[in-house]
Chain A
Amino acid sequence: MTNSPLSQGVVSGRLSSAELAENFADLHAPLDDHEALVAADRCYFCHDAPCMEACPTDIDIPLFIRQISTGTPEAAARTILSQNILGGMCARVCPTETLCEEVCVREVAEGKPVKIGELQRYATDTLMAEDTHPFERDASTGKKIAVVGAGPAGLSAAHRLAMYGHDVTVFDGRAKPGGLNEFGIASYKSVDNFAAREVEWLLQIGGITVETGKRLGERLSLETLKADYDAVFLGIGLGGVNALGLEGEDKGGVLDAVDFISNLRQASDLTNVAIGRDVVVIGGGMTAVDAAVQAKLLGALNVSLVYRRGRDRMAASVFEQDLAASKGVHIISNASPKAVIGNGAVREIEFEYTDNDLKATGQTVRLPADQVFKAIGQTLSGDGLPDLDGSKIAVDGTGRTSVDWIWAGGDCASGGDDLTVTAVAEGRDAAEDIHASLS
């Protein structure tokens, strides 16, 4: 190892492979059988449980936890997966602290919720380890449905449609399916190639063909899809990235956080991933935290996460903020980027302190930066899409767009939070509506 966290510039190999392996290990080690029983026993089996209400996919949480506590995690998994076919990934990436676990009566009463997310993972991992698929595909209907985007929304819709006997083709522009599950979340939330394994497991339902390297406007057109298929579901996510709009933004080392995260996820050897000594991440959401934490885990000496408003306004949950802080990320709030300084490559970035209404104070601060990761939001990209509602595709409650026989869901569609679990729910609900419309 020639480099260290102190090495100047953007370099790889700041840490040894052993250190990197430890840093990028599972964020939460899986519960073992006994831990799961103890955790499950804390569930009160609430009437009309608040956790169920809080789950975007309406998983019957008290029931699946009771199934775990009686030694039938496979049955628990079926309860979960019947509502959320990506229950395994959601167990890993859901911000449970702001969803089910936030409203758990034991969180409200004691500040210690039932570990719903970890129990969900225990159940789904148990079933998936048996390498069986819990659902059967109905007899073929002969109907053809195109799903554009192999992310959480598209996969969820595809699975439900295939289960009903429709023939589904899923298109995705990337080289492999999975969408943000595969390319967009921190490595330590999905170790051991889980996203790819989950897709493979999901496809065991049968009736789904995946075609990669095809996206709208690139070897694929909505007009053709409309003509060739009985229905179309758009789960295309947000392909564009917001720019800072600053002078000097094009300097070397100023990158989109989503690209950094994606490259890191796909890297076969983390010792080859280059990272700056001084890294600045701009933004306040999950993507910003994922980028900042992973920069630190790669061995950057200083990582600052800079958000323009107060910490209480950050989209990243308190859990995520605390995780970042615990890994040594320096969170700076109330600071807006002003200028990227450097000769060819970024050297420093200047911020101006702002109040929660973004009113400038005139006070500035400069942070040294070999790398700047922009994580200030993503945008819908594409031409000829159905009507928009603001910046997203307008949909009704079941995902119908302004165009007949085209549905949409996930991040690209209006309404809902941009969460994996929300995308799964929207994909599932659109599939139900497509199926009802075709029947």
Chain B
Amino acid sequence: MADLTSDFIGIKSPNPFWLASAPPTDKEYNVRRAFEAGWGGVVWKTLGEEGPPVVNVNGPRYGAIHGADRRLLGLNNIELITDRPLEVNLEEMTRVKKDYPDHALIASVMVPCEEDAWKKILPQIAETGCDGFELNFGCPHGMAERGMGSAVGQVPDYIEMVSRWAKEATGLPVIVKLTPNITNILYPAEAALKGGADAVSLINTINSITGVNLDVMSPEPMIDGKGTHGGYCGPAVKPIAMNMVAEIARNPATANLPISGIGGITTWRDAAEFMALGAGNVQVCTAAMTYGFKIVQEMISGLSQWMDEKGYTSTSDFVGMATPNVTDWQYLNLNHITKAEINQDDCIKCGRCYAACEDTSHQAIEMSDDRVFTVKDDECVACNLCVNVCPVEGCITMRTLDAGEMDERTGQPVAAGYGNWTAHPNNPSVQAAE
């Protein structure tokens, strides 16, 4: 069986699956049970300054988007950082780390944007024996209104500054958690790197309203007739998170900055995808909140099986393997021509491909009187919409035309070799580029 042990910026854990800083990691009771269930590490729920803790709302703290059969696709929350006293958290962390020395225990921290505050609390927390810090620059609700969380994460200069303070204050690894609520994820990532951070973790949650109560005319989740934007997470955010991870991983300035991938990871496959795009490990929250701690068992068995099948012996074998294949549109091969093909044996004759193509695409599917659907090669631009709307997986596939083969749509034979937009005659910049 593949070796799942993980070394992320020097922090070792039995596997690359960490629980993200969130309600599941709020206290000793949960964290012990998480470790027993098989989680490799936890990022303890964000700690704040000493003194009276924050106060949470006592109405709903979560809103959700459901798919069929109430499958939870997206979750949003308006919880703040831990609302338990700092000293209680520190005592519990100390006990847990003592009992689970081989598991990763990271302290998530959020204090005001003042040097003294950061430099005071980090050494204090380090006494718990924790393996590192995660600076919470991500929370988009509540704390941001007080100048913390994503209010810091949205200003690269602040990220750099606080990262530097943190590195000055502790010898432990420092991870900066990034908010996706920005225009370009590279600016905060580069700022973290400049400030000396050892890694970034992303994404934190996305500003969101999960729904509107049409009777009360209030956003959901609704607290006494009013709502506020909360942080969106869960399977629905995975594509957004993966793009941001990939952007950092393929950006020359940040290519060597380790990434802890977060965002809708629910299965081993999700984890493998994040890691293939460059994440050294992953953090999970919504999946655990939906199904409980036990899901990590499937993640472990699934990742192991896949690694064995592929011949990977260590997770580092495949981290970042997909990164070189993430490119800009302009470098995509315009000579790669495909055509949709419908397998008539698999087709169940629902006609969804036809409706989609006829109404909204290129009128490239023909429907006979007896409901046989065929692709018109002279119209098909290979947009893939038919594949995406077909309810039968594998029924419609894309056949790649060989070089020299006639593309019936253009009336031109398929050009041999690679040719992209930068060299295409229709590109007005081609002349200048040369």
Say yes or no: B352 contacts A44, CB within 8 Å: yes
Residues of chain A in range 28-53 having any CB-CB distance to chain B below 8 Å: 34, 37-38, 41, 44-50
Interface status of B169 (Cβ within 8 A of chain A): no
List 21 A-B residue pairs with CB atoms under 8 Å apart, sorted by A's residue number: A38-B69, A41-B68, A44-B350, A44-B391, A46-B349, A46-B351, A46-B352, A47-B350, A47-B351, A47-B352, A47-B355, A47-B367, A48-B351, A48-B371, A50-B349, A50-B371, A106-B348, A108-B348, A108-B349, A109-B348, A109-B392
Q: How far is the CA of A46 from the CA of B354 in the complex (A)?
A: 10
| Given contacts A44-B391, A50-B371, A109-B392, A38 and B68 within 8 Å (CB-CB) | yes
Q: How far is the CA of A46 from the CA of B389 in the complex (A)?
A: 11
Of chain A, the residue at the smallest CB distance from B346 is A109
Max count, chain A CB within 10 A of own CB: residue among B349, B350, B367, B392:
B350
Say yes or no: B348 contacts A45, CB within 8 Å: no
Closest CB in chain A relative to B154 CB, distance in Å: 37
Chain B residue numbers with a CB within 8 Å of A46 are: 349-352
Chain A residue numbers with a CB within 8 Å of B352 are: 44-47
Residues of chain A in range 1-49 having any CB-CB distance to chain B below 8 Å: 34, 37-38, 41, 44-49
Residues of chain A in range 269-290 having any CB-CB distance to chain B below 8 Å: none
Of chain B, the residue at the smallest CB distance from A40 is B68
Residues of chain B in range 334-365 having any CB-CB distance to chain A below 8 Å: 348-352, 354-355
Q: How far is the CA of A47 from the CA of B371 in the complex (A)?
A: 10
Chain A residue numbers with a CB within 8 Å of B68 are: 37-38, 41
Residue B349 contacts which of A38, A41, A105 (CB distance < 8 angstroms)? Answer: A105
Say yes or no: B350 contacts A41, CB within 8 Å: no
Chain A residue numbers with a CB within 8 Å of B69 are: 37-38, 41
Binding site for B on A (CB under 8 A): 34, 37-38, 41, 44-50, 105-106, 108-109
Chain A residue numbers with a CB within 8 Å of B355 are: 47
Of chain A, the residue at the smallest CB distance from B359 is A47
Closest CB in chain A relative to B405 CB, distance in Å: 31
Q: How far is the CA of A41 from the CA of B70 in the complex (A)?
A: 11
Q: How many residues of B contact A (CB 8 A)?
A: 14
Q: How far is the CA of A143 from the CA of B352 in the complex (A)?
A: 46
Chain A residue numbers with a CB within 8 Å of B371 are: 48, 50
| Given contacts A38-B69, A106-B348, A47 and B392 within 8 Å (CB-CB) | no
Q: How far is the CA of A362 from the CA of B62 in the complex (A)?
A: 77
Q: How far is the CA of A49 from the CA of B351 in the complex (A)?
A: 8
Q: How far is the CA of A50 from the CA of B349 in the complex (A)?
A: 9
Chain A residue numbers with a CB within 8 Å of B350 are: 44, 46-47, 105
Closest CB in chain A relative to B348 CB, distance in Å: 4
Of chain B, the residue at the smallest CB distance from A109 is B348
Q: How far is the CA of A391 from the CA of B69 in the complex (A)?
A: 51
Closest CB in chain A relative to B392 CB, distance in Å: 7
Chain B residue numbers with a CB within 8 Å of A37 are: 68-69
Closest CB in chain A relative to B211 CB, distance in Å: 12
Closest CB in chain B relative to A378 CB, distance in Å: 36
Closest CB in chain A relative to B147 CB, distance in Å: 41
Chain A residue numbers with a CB within 8 Å of B348 are: 105-106, 108-109
Chain B residue numbers with a CB within 8 Å of A41 are: 68-69
Q: How far is the CA of A50 from the CA of B370 in the complex (A)?
A: 10
Closest CB in chain A relative to B388 CB, distance in Å: 14
Closest CB in chain A relative to B67 CB, distance in Å: 8
Closest CB in chain A relative to B251 CB, distance in Å: 41
Q: How far is the CA of A46 from the CA of B391 in the complex (A)?
A: 10
Of chain B, the residue at the smallest CB distance from A46 is B350
Closest CB in chain B relative to A368 CB, distance in Å: 49
Q: How far is the CA of A38 from the CA of B355 in the complex (A)?
A: 24
Chain A residue numbers with a CB within 8 Å of B392 are: 109
Chain B residue numbers with a CB within 8 Å of A109 are: 348, 392
Chain A residue numbers with a CB within 8 Å of B367 are: 47-48
Q: How far is the CA of A106 from the CA of B68 in the complex (A)?
A: 17
Q: How far is the CA of A167 from the CA of B367 in the complex (A)?
A: 46
Residues of chain B in range 38-72 having any CB-CB distance to chain A below 8 Å: 68-70
> 8 nearest interchain CB pairs?
A47-B351, A109-B348, A47-B355, A41-B68, A46-B350, A105-B348, A44-B350, A105-B350
Chain A residue numbers with a CB within 8 Å of B391 are: 44
Q: How far is the CA of A44 from the CA of B367 in the complex (A)?
A: 17
**Other 17 A-B pairs with CB < 8 A, given A41-B68, A44-B352:** A34-B70, A37-B68, A37-B69, A41-B69, A45-B352, A46-B350, A46-B351, A47-B351, A47-B355, A48-B351, A48-B371, A49-B351, A50-B349, A106-B348, A108-B348, A108-B349, A109-B392
Closest CB in chain A relative to B391 CB, distance in Å: 5
Q: How far is the CA of A41 from the CA of B348 in the complex (A)?
A: 17
Closest CB in chain A relative to B142 CB, distance in Å: 32
Chain B residue numbers with a CB within 8 Å of A44 are: 350, 352, 391
Residues of chain B in range 290-341 having any CB-CB distance to chain A below 8 Å: none
Q: How far is the CA of A37 from the CA of B66 in the complex (A)?
A: 12
Closest CB in chain B relative to A308 CB, distance in Å: 35
Q: How far is the CA of A348 from the CA of B392 in the complex (A)?
A: 56
Chain A residue numbers with a CB within 8 Å of B351 are: 46-49
Residue B354 contacts which of A47, A50, A106, A108 (CB distance < 8 angstroms)? Answer: A47
Q: How far is the CA of A307 from the CA of B350 in the complex (A)?
A: 38
Chain B residue numbers with a CB within 8 Å of A106 are: 348
Closest CB in chain A relative to B162 CB, distance in Å: 47
Of chain B, the residue at the smallest CB distance from A42 is B68
Max count, chain A CB within 10 A of own CB: residue among B348, B352, B354:
B348
Q: How far is the CA of A47 from the CA of B347 in the complex (A)?
A: 14
Closest CB in chain B relative to A37 CB, distance in Å: 8
Chain A residue numbers with a CB within 8 Å of B349 are: 46, 50, 105, 108
Max count, chain B CB within 10 A of own CB: residue among A38, A44, A106:
A44
Closest CB in chain A relative to B64 CB, distance in Å: 15
Closest CB in chain A relative to B363 CB, distance in Å: 14
Chain B residue numbers with a CB within 8 Å of A47 are: 350-352, 354-355, 367
Q: How far is the CA of A109 from the CA of B392 in the complex (A)?
A: 10
Q: How far is the CA of A106 from the CA of B371 in the complex (A)?
A: 15
Of chain A, the residue at the smallest CB distance from B69 is A38
Closest CB in chain A relative to B304 CB, distance in Å: 32
Q: How far is the CA of A49 from the CA of B349 in the complex (A)?
A: 9
Closest CB in chain A relative to B27 CB, distance in Å: 34
Q: How far is the CA of A50 from the CA of B392 in the complex (A)?
A: 17
Q: How far is the CA of A49 from the CA of B69 in the complex (A)?
A: 24
Q: How far is the CA of A371 from the CA of B392 in the complex (A)?
A: 53
Closest CB in chain A relative to B427 CB, distance in Å: 38
Closest CB in chain B relative to A382 CB, distance in Å: 42
Q: How far is the CA of A49 from the CA of B355 in the complex (A)?
A: 11
Chain B residue numbers with a CB within 8 Å of A38 are: 68-69
Max count, chain A CB within 10 A of own CB: residue among B70, B351, B354, B392:
B351
Q: How far is the CA of A44 from the CA of B352 in the complex (A)?
A: 8
Of chain A, the residue at the smallest CB distance from B373 is A47
Closest CB in chain B relative to A410 CB, distance in Å: 31
Closest CB in chain A relative to B90 CB, distance in Å: 45
Closest CB in chain A relative to B97 CB, distance in Å: 44
Chain B residue numbers with a CB within 8 Å of A45 are: 352
Chain B residue numbers with a CB within 8 Å of A49 are: 351
Max count, chain B CB within 10 A of own CB: residue among A47, A49, A50, A106:
A47
Chain B residue numbers with a CB within 8 Å of A108 are: 348-349
Closest CB in chain B relative to A48 CB, distance in Å: 6
Of chain A, the residue at the smallest CB distance from B348 is A109
